[in-house]
Amino acid sequence: MSLDLLVAILMTVAGAATPLLIAGLGELVVEKSGVLNLGVEGMMLIGAVTGFAVATSTGLPVLGALAAMGAAALAAAIFAVLVLTLMANQVATGLALTIFGTGVSALIGAPFVGITTPTLGPIFPEALTASPLLRLVFGHSPLVYFGLFLTFAVWWFLNRARAGLILRAVGESDTAAHAIGYPVLKVRYLAVLFGGAMAGLAGSYYSLVLTPMWAERLTAGRGWIAIALVVFASWKPGRMLAGAYLFGLVMTMELQAKAAGFNMFAPEVLAALPYVATIAVLAIISAAKRGGANAPACLGKSFRATA
Amino acid sequence: MMLAAPVIAVALTLLVGAVLFTLLGHDGLGAIFEIFVKPLFNPYRWQDLLVKAAPLAIIAIGLAIGFRANVWNIGAEGQYILGGLAGTGVALATLDMTGSWILPLMLAAGILGGMAWATIPAALKTALGVNEILSSLMLNYVAIQILYYLMRGPWKDPMGFNFPQTAMFSSDQTLPMVVPGTLIHLGVPLAAAVALTAFLLMARTVTGFQMKVVGLAPKAAAFGGFGAASTVWIAMLVGGGLAGFAGILEAAGPFGQMVPQFPTGYGYTAIIVAFLGRLNPLGILLAALVLALTYVGGESAQTTIGLPSAATGVFQAMMLFFLLATDILVRYRLVSGRAAPLGAPASKSEAETAAGGKGKAVAA
């Protein structure tokens, strides 16, 4: 295998892993605060279509990515009001958010089907990416670097920052955190909004970086894989990085096998691979842990201040 | 409030929907009228409503039994596909045969196909503790690929000009019409029968009681000897079996063959139907008609006022949002600020849940 090809494959892996990583880290923070938001897929779709719409109309993909974060955070705010203020069931509300995001994105995106947009491509000057190895370091979209930075930032926040400690306390025991005087709902609101913004950014990666176009259901279930990766990662940012890149590898294998004319399996088998791999990974991690002992204790429970 | 919440939710959907679609540059009021009012005055559309409501109701009844027990089967779409495929398998094997035994065999295969697909998340949950939401959802994507594979290869009609679809089913393999000259096929009365049966089973049998108790009071259920594993199995097999049943009813009914366009999202919409029907089989029949209205009306609004097809999904999701939002009115009583001074101990019991029973069924 030539160096060029190897570098190309590794770069594809990073590309496939980045949206999973960013959305997954967002959901990880949300779940650490004790909230289960199953609407990641819907928020990603809203981010993808908003990013695309703003990038095409302004010609500025960066503005598209920022708008994607804002729009998805807005969608997350609907979820937050329902589950935090109105104490609605988190599973049902998350599903509703995904159904909503799928519909709204298709509605907004209808006029944009079939056109292309300026992409959020590599940021470093071309001179730096002359050789394959340099390309591996400097040749990515800014979001790839952001994903790596975010991994560190979330780790630092959860393990070294006082605010992160409070967030974890709220997720482990909302009543105790409330009794000490921490604003449980405020912390959870902020976490859900952050998770929404990250899901939106991850969604915009699909429409602004991977494929500069919009299609209905563009994210194809990747939001759900990101949620599964949070379980796989045992709610640890470092493991989330490993998990996302592992899945990036699985998805790249699918593409490479197709490109190489590798036809021992039907193309449908390869297309089903990421989903089967997700189930397999969940089974392995659950067998090892028996039901995710690391899950935040208050995950999915409504909180109502009683005093 | 128990029954008022769905009505309020639908009303709010109409109201906010009109505003939202006006803001998006469509004719908001016109859209509401086209989708939610006009089909009601067109007798031909009534048939369409019943035909679309039938699969939604059948799937939703199965899901609701699981949701009551806090078993979150999100894989109805895949179970629906596998049910349709299993029944189609029987149909293709018996294509040259005749006899009234063929259709019942297809329906049985459909139920078993859906059950088999639901076995995977059930087994993973009970044996390893794998989250059934994620596993059942992932299997939807796998089911679609199985469908595509069979349509593209082994099951393609050899006489079909290379279109990726099976041969048309014979008359012994398609559902008879219950009212001659209409679209209303056997699946419609079957859906009503499923609802009645489920209602009686949930109200009168120990298993029905088990599903409710496990959801309302897991610890009490465990003390009472109801096993968590058996609850998961019952919920998954009933949900999968009914979704598979709906699948083969659609394949042997409106489709009359198997095609790649077979999955239409009923498995997801049925989740909304289940909640709008208050997880009650009879309520679900009504809710299925409301959601069928969004499909039927949405389709006609596409041709008459050019509303995008995606609008249907937006309306459906809004209904679920508003329903979940108004649920707080079921679980809590509104008390005016003066009657309940903040922090006063007396006010606590007043504001406390009035109808905690059913409300808890939707509280995680």
pLDDT-based confidence at B133, cuts 50/70/90? very high
Phi first, then psi: give them for residue B177, nearest 5 degrees. Answer: -85, 135
Chain B from 193 to 252: CB within 8 A of any A CB: none
Mean pLDDT for chain B overall: 87
- Indicate the SS3 state at residue B94: coil
Tell me the two tokens of residue B321: 């949002």
In a domain, A126, yes or no: no
pLDDT-based confidence at B361, cuts 50/70/90? very low
CA atoms within a 13 Å half-sphere pointing along the CA-CB vector of A285: 23
| pTM score, whole prediction | 0.89
Tell me the two tokens of residue A148: 């790596």
Output b/e per residue, B245-265; b: 16+ Cβ within 10 A.
Answer: bbbbbbbbbbbbbbeeebbee
Radius of gyration of chain A (CA): 19
What CATH number is given to the structural domain containing A30?
Answer: 1.10.3470
- What's the pLDDT score for residue B251? 96
Residue A278: enclosing H or E segment and its boundaries? helix A267-289
Assign a CATH topology to domain B4-333+343-361: ABC transporter involved in vitamin B12 uptake, BtuC (1.10.3470)
Q: Which range, of A117-121, B26-30, B275-279, averages the lowest pLDDT?
A: A117-121
Give the distance from residue A232's alpha carbon to the nearest chain B alpha carbon, in angstroms: 11
- What's the pLDDT score for residue B24? 79
pLDDT tens for each residue of A114-171: 888 888 877 777 777 777 777 777 778 899 999 999 999 999 999 999 999 999 999 9
- What's the pLDDT score for residue B337? 62
A73 contacts A196 by C-beta, under 8 angstroms: yes
Give the distance from residue A93's alpha carbon to the nearest chain B alpha carbon, in angstroms: 7
Tell me the two tokens of residue B248: 């083969």
In a domain, A297, yes or no: no
Q: How many distinct structural domains can be found in chain A?
A: 1
Q: What secondary structure, in 3-state letters, does B220-268 show?
A: HHHHCCCCHHHHHHHHHHHHHHHHHHHHHHHHHHHHCCCCCCCCCCHHH
Q: Which range, of A150-164, B87-101, B192-206, B317-331, averages the lowest pLDDT?
A: B317-331
* pLDDT exceeds cutoff 60 at B360: no
For residue A99, the chain B residue with the least C-alpha distance is B317
Contacts of B149 in chain A (CB under 8 A): 266, 268-269
Query: For residue A53, what are the domain limits?
Result: 3-121+134-289
Contacts of B328 in chain A (CB under 8 A): 86-88
Interface touch A88/B364, C-beta < 8 Å: no
Interface touch A275/B139, C-beta < 8 Å: yes
Nearest residue to A213 via CA among A303, A114, A299: A114
Tell me the two tokens of residue B125: 């949950």
pLDDT tens for each residue of B297-342: 988 888 888 888 888 889 999 999 999 998 887 777 767 665 544 4
Orientation angle between helical segments B76-93 and B102-128, nearest 10 degrees: 140
| Residue type for position A212 | P
ipTM of the complex: 0.89
In a domain, A299, yes or no: no
Residue B54: enclosing H or E segment and its boundaries? helix B43-68
> Which of the two residues, B44 and B240, has the higher pLDDT score?
B240
B194 contacts B61 by C-beta, under 8 angstroms: yes
Residues of chain A with pLDDT under 50: 291
In a domain, A241, yes or no: yes
Q: Which range, of B2-11, B82-91, B221-230, B353-362, averages the lowest pLDDT?
A: B353-362
> Which of the two residues, B107 and A259, has the higher pLDDT score?
B107
CA distances from B16 to A83, A237, B295, B315 (A): 20, 40, 18, 10
Phi first, then psi: give them for residue B185, nearest 5 degrees. Answer: -100, 180
- What's the pLDDT score for residue A134? 77
- What's the pLDDT score for residue B218? 83
* pLDDT exceeds cutoff 70 at B234: yes
Output b/e per residue, B82-92; b: 16+ Cβ within 10 A.
Answer: bbbbbbbbbbb
Cα A11–A14–A20 angle (5° rounding)? 155
Q: Which range, of A227-231, B50-54, B221-225, averages the lowest pLDDT?
A: B221-225
- What's the pLDDT score for residue A307? 56
Nearest residue to B216 via CA among B231, B204, B230: B231
Cβ neighbours of A85 (radius 10 Å): 12
pLDDT-based confidence at B364, cuts 50/70/90? very low
Contacts of A81 in chain B (CB under 8 A): 325
Contacts of A247 in chain B (CB under 8 A): none
For the segment B57-66, the average pLDDT, to the nearest whole number, is 96
CA distances from B351 to A115, A296, B345 (A): 54, 29, 11
Spell out the domain ranges in chain B.
Answer: 4-333+343-361
| Residue type for position B348 | K
For the segment B240-267, the average pLDDT, to the nearest whole number, is 95
* pLDDT exceeds cutoff 90 at B82: yes
Interface touch A292/B268, C-beta < 8 Å: no
B232 contacts B225 by C-beta, under 8 angstroms: no
For residue B272, the chain A residue with the least C-alpha distance is A96
